[in-house]
Amino acid sequence: FFSHVQQAPEDPILGITVAYNNDPNPAKVNLGVGAYRTEEGKPLLLTVLQKAEETLLAKESRNKEYLGITGIPEFNKLSAQLILGSDCPAIAEKRVSTVQCLSGTGSLRVGGEFLARHYGGQKIIYVPVPTWGNHLKIFPLAGLETRTYRYYDPKTKGLDYAGMVEDLRAAPSGAVVLLHACAHNPTGVDPTQEQWEGIRRVIREEKQLLPFFDSAYQGFASGSLDTDAWAVRRFVNDGGEVFVAQSYAKNMGLYGERVGALSVIVKGADVATRVESQLKQVIRPMYSSPPTHGAAIVASILADKDLLEEWKVELKGMADRIISMRHQLFDALKERKTPGNWDHILNQIGMFTFTGLNKEQVEYMRREHHIYMTLDGRISMAGLSSRTVPQLADAIHSAVTK
């Protein structure tokens, strides 16, 4: 029954880690997956997380009961406040329904499947070119037709704003638009606030499209949770409908705990209640209910003023280290007089730099320098350190001059 099964290719992002792990060279560097590393190249367990975890483990009431289908109610409430702002009118008006999901991917998948079943508009979702590779797999499997809009301009290594707006204008009214809330993955290119306003006008006034935000980097782009939620809040506060998928993988370093949330913002409290009842219908046959541990940690941090402040400091520390890596890499290339303009290393934001290196150059760097990055030329700045910057700069230099 199974001899016909074909070997599937490795995932374009997670497969890089597999290749990296198989490389016996001690000088190897993994800049593939977007996972934060310390200056010493180690995963970071936030101090605030350890504190929260210790308190949780000491609690007598701790047990391993099932959560409800939508997860921990306190976690959902606090997650909505974190992304939408605690003074958000939609929350006060009970127009928000938030469900705990399995990190960003799970939130997008649940949201996608809900839309495929119940959305009254067009069951088509537009994603940017390029976008996080998993978007292109999640939405078709959830049952949405997936189309693209222009986003990145390779010539300027910046936003193709005119192309984006033109493509959104050409979309059928009622289509869904996937937007990266901040720190666009893989390009590190975000619209300015003025451009967001233009995008919002097309989405809301000209076309009546449905914005679906993927927020995987709140706090990572600027170091400020509020600044990085600006675009989401702007759309929610205009009173219209919005979907938001949140991940705590990067900003709390909870990668393997799979903690996230989906918030659906609608136009009335009664609608929100009905939407939530249907989200439960999506979740129950998919994985029944979410896991407890990671969400309990998040809830205890968000609920405690001191822990919250501590988290913000640690989050800013991670964001600042990434920014300092940008400067160090830029300076190292300048020092080597590496041909080309590398300003985008400084201008792009968040975890990644979209270097502009092509597939051949990426493969060369892997073969000759044991530096691992995705084939589209994306490097995870969070995987770099002062020690590995010169190695990367040497590798880029030889890739572009060979």
Catalogue the active-site residues.
Answer: 132, 214, 250
Query: Would you give the DSSP letter of residue 260?
Result: E
**Which one of 13, 261, 275, 319 is in contact with ligand LMR (CB under 6 A)?**
13
Of the pair 96, 262, the CB lying nearest ligand LMR is at 262
* Separation of first and last alpha carbons in the chain: 50
| Torsion 33-38-41-42 (CA) sign | negative
Is the distance from CB of 140 to CB of 296 less than 8 angstroms? no
Shortest spacing between CB 14 and ligand LMR, in angstroms? 6
Chain center to CA of 200 = 20
C-alpha 90/C-alpha 242 separation (Å) is 11
Longest C-alpha distance within the chain, in Å? 64
Residue indicated by tokens 């400067």 = 327
Of the pair 126, 132, the CB lying nearest ligand LMR is at 132
Query: Would you give the DSSP letter of residue 41?
Result: S
Which single residue brings its beta carbon nearest to ligand LMR?
34
Of the pair 161, 287, the CB lying nearest ligand LMR is at 287
Sorted by sequence, the CB contacts under 8 Å of residue 307 that are 6+ apart come out as: 48, 51, 52, 300, 301
Closest CA to 202 of 210, 212, 214: 210
Of the pair 114, 132, the CB lying nearest ligand LMR is at 132
Shortest spacing between CB 33 and ligand LMR, in angstroms? 4
Is the distance from CB of 244 to CB of 111 less than 8 angstroms? no
Contact letters for ligand LMR, residues 133-172 (x by CB under 6 A): -x--------------------------------------
Shortest spacing between CB 39 and ligand LMR, in angstroms? 20
Closest CA to 223 of 319, 85, 90: 319
Shortest spacing between CB 272 and ligand LMR, in angstroms? 29
C-alpha 244/C-alpha 222 separation (Å) is 19
C-alpha 379/C-alpha 354 separation (Å) is 7
Of the pair 28, 123, the CB lying nearest ligand LMR is at 28
3-state secondary structure of 147: strand
Is the distance from CB of 173 to CB of 208 less than 8 angstroms? yes
215 binds ligand LMR per the rule CB under 6 A: no
Which residue spans within 182-223 are E strands per DSSP?
A: 210-215
Shortest spacing between CB 9 and ligand LMR, in angstroms? 15
**Which one of 20, 36, 132, 217 is in contact with ligand LMR (CB under 6 A)?**
132
Shortest spacing between CB 395 and ligand LMR, in angstroms? 20
Of the pair 136, 313, the CB lying nearest ligand LMR is at 136
Shortest spacing between CB 70 and ligand LMR, in angstroms? 23
Of the pair 35, 144, the CB lying nearest ligand LMR is at 35
Residue type, 6: Q
Contact letters for ligand LMR, residues 14-53 (x by CB under 6 A): -------------------xx-------------------
Q: Give how many residues touch ligand LMR by CB under 6 A.
A: 6
Token output for 211: 């914005």
C-alpha 202/C-alpha 160 separation (Å) is 15
3-state secondary structure of 93: coil
Shortest spacing between CB 121 and ligand LMR, in angstroms? 28
Could you tell me where the DSSP H helices lie in 190-251?
Answer: 193-201, 225-228, 230-236
Query: Would you give the DSSP letter of residue 204?
Result: I
Token output for 143: 């049952």
Contact letters for ligand LMR, residues 317-356 (x by CB under 6 A): ----------------------------------------
**Which one of 98, 185, 263, 348 is in contact with ligand LMR (CB under 6 A)?**
185
Of the pair 69, 249, the CB lying nearest ligand LMR is at 249
* Residues found near ligand LMR in the complex (CB under 6 A): 13, 33-34, 132, 134, 185
